[in-house]
Amino acid sequence: MAKLEQVEIEVRSRYGDIPTQLQNAREDLRTFKVTLLGELVGESNPTGQEIAALKTQMACIEKRQNDYGFDFQNRTFTTSRVFTPPLLMCITLCLRKAG
């Protein structure tokens, strides 16, 4: 069995169906973005500048999801960093506004 095939089997056995997991993660991220932005706007009356900053941070999160996800061209997988600094910053901002 070729080395690449062994790697693919190992990845599938450890992580399951990578494309499905990534799609689910992207959908979860979109839901989180909509929910967080909705809560921030709905409950705390943020300024336009704060909303713009939040949208920028969310774009960074999406980029990081791509950076740390599965690389289909090279067939490699790296663990996703769930709590990136932009995400923590967004959560902190939301909690500060709500509290």
- Give the start-to-end residue ranges of the domains of the chain: 3-98
Using 50, 70 and 90 to split pLDDT, how confident is the model at 72? very low
DSSP 90: H
Q: Nearest-5° angle of CA 60, CA 93, CA 25?
A: 40
Q: Mean of the pLDDT values across residues 34-58? A: 66
> What are the angstrom distances between the C-alpha of 95 and each of 40, 42, 64?
9, 13, 23
Q: Which residues contact 21 (CB under 8 A, 6 or more apart)?
A: 15
Assess whether pLDDT exceeds 70 at residue 53. yes
Using a 10 angstrom Cβ sphere, with 0-12 exposed, 13-18 middle and 19 or more buried, the burial of residue 77 is buried
- Amino acid identity of 12? R
User: Which pTM value belongs to this model?
Assistant: 0.29
